[in-house]
Amino acid sequence: MTAIEAFESLRTRDVEDFDDIGLVLDELESRPLAPAPDDVPFLARVARGVAFVTFAYDIDGVAMEIAKYGMAVVALLREEGYEPRVHCVGGNFAEKVDVVLPADCPRILLHTADGWDKWEGGKWFARLFFEDMPQGSAASRKMAAKMWSESVRMAEELATLVADEEIGLLIPVNVNSNPGNFALALAMVLVSEVTGCPVLNNNHDFYWEGGRPTEERPPGEPPGPRDHFFRNHENRAFFDVFRRILPWNGRRWIQVNINPLQSARLVEQDGFAADRVFLVGTGIDEGFSQPRSPQLKLEYRRRMAHILSDGESTIAATPVADFLEHTNAWMGDQHPVVCGLREGTMLDLASPDTLVLLQPTRVVPRKRIPRDWELIGALLQHPSFRDEFERRTDMALVLLVTGPVPIEHRSDAEDVLNAFVDVLDSVPESIGERLFQAFSVGNQNHPSLSESLEIFDIYHSADMVLFPSETEGRGLPIPESAAAGIPIVCSRYDPVLVFDDVVGANRPEDERLQYLEFPESTFDDDLLERITSMLLDPASFADRTRHNRDVVRSRYSLQNLQRSFSEYLLRLETVYEP
């Protein structure tokens, strides 16, 4: 049966509930594997076309990792004598994503493939995971029919791409692990099984990380951030399909996870073959590790000032109270903004007397950005820092948050601003007028500038990185700040095993990253004194800077990432041509 005939059969399939979808999956698993389309060597087929598929491309960790993966694949295949073509497929491409994705990478829009609240306005996500859908109910039947039709349509679109662009490798990222779009996850299964295209399934987050059914939560344990994925787990027909495709244990699939806990779960609990489950590290661009002069640091700040002020070198801050009244309107365009105490407050970002504390993330709850202001508030009450800040009347302090605010997280941006207000209320006006909250919302260029900022330039403009995250699949700001030689105060986030792996807690001392721990409760005097020293006398920590840079070069090089992808492709070749 040809792919066209197979999709015609799927399109006309009578699907009345999720049991019927389960039967289709049974049939796909038992049908013969499609043969290779020609006698071309496996790597040559891959080089013809590699397609990354995810919900949306934005200024976030997933898109940044996809860019690195793409570079690793291209470098690897070029070493083998091929000139590879890499495509990015998704339901949405953010306006500013050019700062992450290579300009020459074709971007292919897949209709209705965006995730969560942006998947057709969030209505299907809500009905699957926030509303009751009992097994055998009208709601369950209606949802199964809708998910089936959407999945077949997207699978056909992807199959057309596979044929037209001669795609030899599909790399879905989070599609079949964190269910932002159930229909897209099912579509990935359909297209891979019908076309026979091999899949390197990359998983950053799983639905069960921080989620479980209410009745399985031990007494006293607070709800998890992903409990909603278990809302309809008693609808066994639905949940069996859900678990089966997240991720799919396909014969031409291998799983590539970003932390060892994920791999252990797939092998030990879900029955995946250990030789088809891999770990992927990350690569840190050499631009992070290149030392920068004090003059360059101020130049990067000057460029950021133009971005934040819409073309001016000095920034007139927006009164935070006024901005809080208009956050709803701001969410629509999200232009860069700096908030201060009152009208007329000015910020000279390029001044060497300005302290820049960097939160290099989006504004989402698990990043716990309001905690940054709690730390700053404690620092302003710490005698050695407070005395110096009062004495040096030209000194200012700004918290720069670089990522955008997802439309559904307006209240989280307001929480950051309210935490800023709490600090302003706790200090005299002479200090408050020198404190600022800045949001660059993913912007790294402005028409007034001849040269844009790179991500590593923004790190090099900072005096310290703050990262009080609650949970992370990896935690990129830690090795990035280490490579840039910028001290970081970071929480020991969950899963702790992942955090320990990132910093090298169980490695020899010369392979461990050095950091300050963001506490879960109060800020003790020892921590505040160490932060004060790092901010006011950074040269005294030169040995620490060199150590962290050496660790990153050893553990997080792009060459290491390339070697990992060589291993994945070798395994896929044996899977494809057993």
pLDDT in tens, the chain (578 residues): 677 788 888 988 999 999 999 999 999 999 888 777 778 899 999 999 999 999 999 878 889 899 999 999 999 999 999 999 999 999 999 887 888 888 888 999 999 999 998 999 999 999 999 999 999 999 999 999 999 999 999 999 999 999 999 999 999 999 999 999 999 999 999 999 999 999 999 999 999 998 999 888 888 888 888 999 999 999 999 999 999 999 999 999 999 999 999 999 999 999 999 999 999 989 998 899 988 899 999 999 999 999 999 998 889 999 999 999 999 999 988 999 999 999 989 999 999 999 999 999 999 999 999 999 999 999 999 999 999 999 999 999 999 999 988 888 899 999 999 999 999 999 999 999 999 999 999 999 999 998 889 999 999 999 999 999 998 988 999 999 999 999 999 999 988 999 999 999 999 999 999 999 999 999 999 999 999 999 999 988 999 999 999 999 999 988 999 999 999 999 999 987 65
Cα 169 off chain centre by: 22
Strands (E), 205-258: 253-257
pTM confidence score: 0.86
For the chain, list the domains and their CATH numbers: 3-32+39-283+560-576 (3.40.50.2000), 286-556 (3.40.50.2000)
Q: Could you count the other beta carbons within 10 Å of the beta carbon of residue 216?
A: 10
Q: ∠ at Cα 456 (556, 400), nearest 5°?
A: 120
Q: What is the largest CA-CA distance in the chain?
A: 80
Helix, strand, coil percent content, the chain, rounded in steps of 5: 50, 10, 40
Location of structure tokens 């932060």: 531
**Helical H segments across 165-218, by residue range:** 182-195
Phi, psi at residue 51, to the nearest 5°? -120, 115
Q: Would you say 464 and 518 are in contact if contact means Cβ atoms under 8 Å apart?
A: no
Location of structure tokens 């060199």: 546
| CB-neighbour burial class of residue 394 (10 A; exposed 0-12, middle 13-18, buried 19+) | exposed
Strands 169-172 and 50-54: parallel
Q: Could you count the other beta carbons within 10 Å of the beta carbon of residue 239?
A: 18
CA distances from 211 to 43, 102, 175, 220, 242 (A): 39, 35, 17, 15, 14
